[in-house]
Amino acid sequence: MSEVRKPSWLKIKLPGGEGYAQVSGIVKKHKLHTICSSGMCPNIGECWGNGVATFMILGDICTRSCKFCATATGKPLPPDPNEPHNVARSVQLMNLKYCVITSVDRDDLPDQGAAHWRETVRAIRELNPNTTIEVLIPDFDGRTELIDIFLESNPDVVGHNLETVERLSKIVRSKANYEKSLKTLEYVTKRGYRAKSGIMLGLGETRDEVIKTMDDLIAVDCRMITLGQYLQPRPTNLPVERYITPEEFDEYKQIALQKGFTFAECGPLVRSSYHADKAQELVKGKCCNS
């Protein structure tokens, strides 16, 4: 199969500037892991340049091997007990009003990292009481008792990605599955939290499948969604089947809003945490994405 040529609208500005250097320095000084770098995010220049970063806790080695992901797979190191404080202090140094936390999967731990998640969010809250906290969690293998441990930290927005449409889920993901992810989101919303999810486009999904995914999320009361273009991070990852045009993404955004999503960020370079701070007013009880 011949490689699909990358279109002009996916040109990325190289990272640089004072803001980028400041965030990069804080990340290195405190030995933090960010999905911005380990996930090879195309928006790292823009986000770090604006003083925004998504912190990745529990190390930078994942116990799963999803075929779309650039994060290293293997045997992780034990969780760093100083990490919750280090992340909280970094959020304080960056003066973030809205921060996003994510993690690798830690199937090697008895609680899959739930308690570490809880302590990290609590530490951020203690040092930064006015900062809105969005999290992007793993599925914790669908174990609600572990989700409950994490939810004790009371985050403002709980994200968990479906990653792709149902038909492609077994191909794209390793251990996680579509139904378990939907149940995770449903449990979060039933506990009274705002839920957020996202999928990548360009892996061979159809328009009808994308719309069905929106319907599935609405059915579990997940009202925040992101849609972005899948970009093959390495030759060993899945290839791009098609590049979705900006016009198609615009159409998907309008469909999402018409279906009842209160937040819909859709575009070629959109990632889970891209422009996450635009949901600030939504978290405060106002609709910000119409």
Residue pLDDT, tens place only, 261-287: 999 999 998 877 666 666 666 666 544
DSSP state of 167: G
| The pLDDT of residue 71 | 72
Taking the C-alpha atoms of residue 201 and residue 99, their distance in angstroms, rounded to an integer, is 25
| The pLDDT of residue 93 | 84
| The pLDDT of residue 52 | 64
| The pLDDT of residue 232 | 85
| The pLDDT of residue 283 | 65
* Average pLDDT of the residues in 72-81: 89
The residue ranges of DSSP E strands in the chain, in sequence order, are 33-34, 54-57, 61-62, 72-73, 98-103, 132-136, 157-159, 194-201, 224-229, 263-267
Taking the C-alpha atoms of residue 95 and residue 128, their distance in angstroms, rounded to an integer, is 9
| The pLDDT of residue 84 | 96
| The pLDDT of residue 173 | 87
Among 2-6, 28-32, 47-51, 81-85, the least confident range: 47-51
The number of CA neighbours under 13 Å toward the Cβ of 17 is 13
Average pLDDT of the residues of the chain? 85
Query: What is the helix (H) or strand (E) element at residue 120, kind and residue range?
Result: helix 114-127
Taking the C-alpha atoms of residue 199 and residue 211, their distance in angstroms, rounded to an integer, is 11
Q: Tokens 């293998």 label which residue?
A: 141
Question: Where residue 1 falls among pLDDT bands split at 50, 70, 90?
Answer: very low
Topology at the third CATH level for domain 13-283: TIM Barrel (3.20.20)
| The pLDDT of residue 252 | 98
* Average pLDDT of the residues in 39-53: 60
* Average pLDDT of the residues in 184-194: 96
| The pLDDT of residue 289 | 45
| The pLDDT of residue 49 | 59
* Average pLDDT of the residues in 216-240: 91
Q: How does pLDDT run across 146-178, given as a tens digit for each residue? A: 999 999 999 999 999 999 999 999 999 877 899
Among 5-9, 86-90, 118-122, 285-289, the least confident range: 285-289
Question: Where residue 54 falls among pLDDT bands split at 50, 70, 90?
Answer: confident
Q: What residue segments make up the domains of the chain, in order of their start?
A: 13-283
Residue closest to 54 by CA, chosen among 34, 71, 24: 34
Highest mean pLDDT among 13-22, 40-49, 127-136, 181-190: 181-190
The better pLDDT of the pair 248, 17 is held by 248
